[in-house]
Structures are given as C-alpha cells and as structure tokens.
A = this chain, B = another copy of it.
Amino acid sequence: VSVDRALIDIERACGDGSVLTDPDVLESYGRDTSEVAPQRPVAAVRASTAEHVSAVMRAASEHAVAVTPRGAGTGRVGAATPTPGGLVLVSDRMRSIERIDERDLVATTQPGVVLGDLHRRAEEQGVFFPPDPNSLDECTIGGNVATNAGGPRALKYGTMRNWVLGLQVVTGDGTILELGKQTPKGVTGYDLTALVVGSEGTLAVTTRATLKLLPAPEKVVTMLVFLPDHESVERAVGAAYARRIVPRCVEFLDSIALELVRPDAGIPIPENAQSMLLVELDGDEQTVDRQLEICGEAMLQAGAEDVLVAKNTAERQRLWGARKELSYTMRRQATNKLSEDVCVPRTRIAALLDRCARLSEQTGITMPTYGHAGDGNLHVNFLWDRPDERPQVEHAIRSVFEAVLEMGGTLSGEHGIGLLKVPYLHMEQPAELISLQEQIKGLFDPKGILNPDKCFPEGARRFHGAHGAC
C-alpha cells in the first residue's frame, strides 16, 4: 500500500509513462548477469532529470520503499537485483552525451549512456576513455560509476574511479549534490566522488558524470603468448614490466578457457598450448612496434613456447570477440556455474593457479580460470552439474578466498560485493570496518532505502535471511 502511494507521487512528479508495471517489463528488470535468483520489482521508474530522481527518492523516503538503481543489468554479483518489495530506477531516459571536449579532455554524460557509444564518440574526436568492462556494448556510465568498472585496459589505465572527475548525484533523501570537480586536479573537501564510485547504488544515484579523457593512442597491437605451466605464466606476466614496458592489458586464459575460445579465435591456437596470455600494447606507431619486439623476446625468455601477433584490426577484433564471449560460453559447459573474481599480487599468480588446480582435483569441481593477469585479477569459475556437488563448490570457494587473503589479495578485483559476496565480506573486513561503512551509508541514505540489501550483512540479513542472498 505504501508502495502504491509512493508510485502515485512519483508518476505525478515524473509524468505519464514514468511508472512501469507490465509484468514482462518487470521480469526483465529482475536480475543481472550473475547467478543470483531473479526478484521481480513492484514497479520500474523512469526518470528524465535529476529533479525527477530527487522526486523519486523523496517519495520513496516518505513511504519507506526500497529503490534499486539499475544501469543495463550487466553486473556480476546481483547488485542490480531489485530489493524484495521495492522499485527499480532505470536510466533509459537519460542517455545524452552532453559534451566531449577534446581540448579540455573532459566528457559530460547522463547516466544511461552506453559505454561503447561514449568510446565511439570519443574516438571520432581523437580522444579516448579507457575503462572497458566486458559488457561495454551494453553497460551504462551510471552502472560503471556504481561498480567502479574495470576491464582489461585497467592494467595500464586504472579503473573507473581514476576517470571520474565529478558527479551529480541524488542521495537517499532526494538531495541533489554536485561532487568533485571538472578539472584534472582539485582538493576542495573530501573526495566524495571516489566514495560514491563503487558504492553499488547504496549511497546515491548518479544523474551526471564528468569524465576525464586522454588523447587516443595511435596504434594498438595484440600478441598471443602460449605457455607451458603456471611458473612461466607468472614470469611472462611480469616480463614486460621488467623491460620498463607497461602493456595496456595482459589477459590470461587457462587450457579450458583456451579450448572454448579456439573455434572462434580466428588465429590458429597451437594444439598443445596449456595456457595463453593476450598482451596488448598501445602508443605511437614506432614505439609500439619496438615494444612489440622487446616484449615478444621477453616472453620467449620467460618460457613461452610460441608468440603470435594479430596481423590486423580484423584479427584483433575477432580474437577479442571470442575472449569476450568466454563468460557465456563457459556457462554452457555445465548445468551450474559460479564465477569468482579474486585479485592477488602479481607474484602470487602461480601459487593461486596451483591452489585452484589442487582444489579442483580434491573436490571434483571443474575450475577454469581466466582474466586480467597483469593486475593479478583472475576470474575463477566453478562448473558443476549435480545438485549434491554444491557443498563441494562452497568448500572450494571458501578455500580460494582463504588462499587469496593469505596471499595479500582481495575477494573482488572488479565485480564488487552486491548480494553474492556479502556472506564472505567478514573474511576480509573486521566488524568495525563494516559498521563504519554502514554508518556512512546512513548519512547518504538516512531512511535506508537505497539498494538496502546490498554490500553489507545488516541489510542483506533483513531482506534475505541469515546467509545473505546465496
């Protein structure tokens, strides 16, 4: 009933067609791309302006209704899954790229802009926006802000947080705030921009983002490096750095991932290859060509059995196409799949891969691994068919997390906590740190209505029972 009252207020403020209740539409807003169970929202709300978003949050506050902000729903941990009994707030009416300034190297966009569209528009003007999560042709800037999106190029360029200069946001009680700056530097007050980036829709709703750009690199080259064992993978991952070269990405694929990529890779992958690195360099033409030679030599010295180079853009694109499909092709390999997203120091990659291999042997769970090896950020997957294998999967996941934390790593390199990792958060963070974050949320969202079941155990417990959402 209080939801209905909130929706009346919202429709009055945002206009006809701003509240969607069609069951099929709501169904489509019920999940992200994770394994979290779908949850149909009571309604979906479409805002066109920051003032609309403010009205939505005021109405939701007044009637104590949960609001889950949603981009394209491409997240991996259930952060965009609607809170039971709540609304989703979608950004499909806020899709304008307001400004790309190639002289100031700044862009301003609304939250519903698709990242890939920003990439293309920027490139037309000779500039470049680095973050490149896998879902870049669907995911939105608002979602990228909420998740601190990464991607392969994060190795050289860092994640979303490094590229957000300022945000216009609406907090839980409907206050519109301008955070941050429009200039590359600025230290006026606390960095609330950095705080909101990666907060998974729990602190505020982004209504505009001011982004930093770079001149577009002249040339990009892609190298495939085939390696026989985990030690050589680790050596190869560090090989470019040791030559003072920072590649823009160093992606890893283990033998299972490699087999899945093989049919569509468009480049002949050697039959006996155990694992592969996909290394990219960017910069001006002469530099890249020289670095390519140095890196290739370094990879052979690190133990590579073979090094191939993509001959042209078409080859590059086909290869990346196959790499980007990997998460989906992997899902088809078994009835059930869970994907974790740990990050370890670069020099612990071999140890982590060894540990995963042993765990897979012990538990009988298939555990293919791939990801952003240059950053030590690996996606460890768990594939299984029979329901009675689930306890073994749970044991394997906990064991991976324990190993990762022992190595000085973290539970999540880029996917976040959402619902899926809430039950494990306490393994990495003590109670007082979690409590401090929950209190900060309380300042941005005094009524606790902004995606309240995500990230922290308290909200998850309230909405999903003792074990969070899993």
Residues of B within 8 A of A343 (CB): 181, 183-186
A415–B187 CA distance with the chains assembled, in angstroms: 7
What 10 pairs across the A-B complex have the smallest Cβ distances? A194-B194, A186-B410, A215-B244, A185-B413, A183-B343, A287-B287, A104-B345, A182-B408, A184-B375, A185-B375
Interface check A13, CB cutoff 8 A: no
Interface check A56, CB cutoff 8 A: no
> Taking A106-B345, A183-B375 as contacts, is the C-beta distance between A175 and B432 under 8 angstroms?
yes
One of A40-48, A195-203, A259-267, A380-388 at the interface: A195-203
What's the least CB distance linking A199 to chain B, in Å? 6
Residues of B within 8 A of A192 (CB): 195, 433, 436-437
User: Are the CB atoms of A410 and B188 closer together than 8 Å?
Assistant: yes
User: Are the CB atoms of B184 and A103 closer together than 8 Å?
Assistant: no
A216–B218 CA distance with the chains assembled, in angstroms: 23
Residues of B within 8 A of A242 (CB): 103, 215
Interface check A425, CB cutoff 8 A: yes
One of A28-36, A60-68, A147-155, A392-400 at the interface: A147-155
A199–B187 CA distance with the chains assembled, in angstroms: 9
Interface check A409, CB cutoff 8 A: yes
Nearest residue (CB) in B for A105 is B241
> Taking A158-B162, A161-B191, A195-B194 as contacts, is the C-beta distance between A346 and B103 under 8 angstroms?
yes
Interface check A246, CB cutoff 8 A: yes
A437–B158 CA distance with the chains assembled, in angstroms: 26
Which A residues from 161 to 209 make CB contacts under 8 A with B?
Answer: 161-162, 175, 177-179, 181-192, 194-195, 197-199, 203
Interface check A344, CB cutoff 8 A: yes
Nearest residue (CB) in B for A433 is B177
A188–B161 CA distance with the chains assembled, in angstroms: 14
- Chain A residues with a Cβ closer than 8 Å to the other chain, count: 88
Nearest residue (CB) in B for A404 is B183
Residues of B within 8 A of A162 (CB): 158, 162
User: Are the CB atoms of A434 and B189 closer together than 8 Å?
Assistant: yes
User: Are the CB atoms of B443 and A183 closer together than 8 Å?
Assistant: no
Interface check A411, CB cutoff 8 A: yes
Residues of B within 8 A of A284 (CB): 244-245, 287, 290-291
User: Are the CB atoms of A409 and B183 closer together than 8 Å?
Assistant: yes
Residues of B within 8 A of A377 (CB): 183-185
User: Are the CB atoms of A245 and B215 closer together than 8 Å?
Assistant: yes
Residues of B within 8 A of A241 (CB): 103, 105, 215
Interface check A238, CB cutoff 8 A: yes
What's the least CB distance linking A50 to chain B, in Å? 14
Residues of B within 8 A of A291 (CB): 284
Interface check A417, CB cutoff 8 A: yes
Residues of B within 8 A of A344 (CB): 183
Residues of B within 8 A of A177 (CB): 432-433, 436
User: Are the CB atoms of A376 and B184 closer together than 8 Å?
Assistant: yes
Interface check A286, CB cutoff 8 A: yes
Nearest residue (CB) in B for A217 is B244
Interface check A69, CB cutoff 8 A: no
Interface check A347, CB cutoff 8 A: yes
What's the least CB distance linking A213 to chain B, in Å? 10
Interface check A109, CB cutoff 8 A: no
Which A residues from 338 to 380 make CB contacts under 8 A with B?
Answer: 343-347, 372, 375-377
Besides the known contacts A103-B241, A245-B284, 9 further A-B residue pairs in the complex with CB atoms under 8 A apart: A103-B347, A104-B346, A148-B187, A159-B185, A161-B194, A185-B377, A187-B412, A188-B429, A189-B425
Interface check A440, CB cutoff 8 A: yes
A192–B187 CA distance with the chains assembled, in angstroms: 16
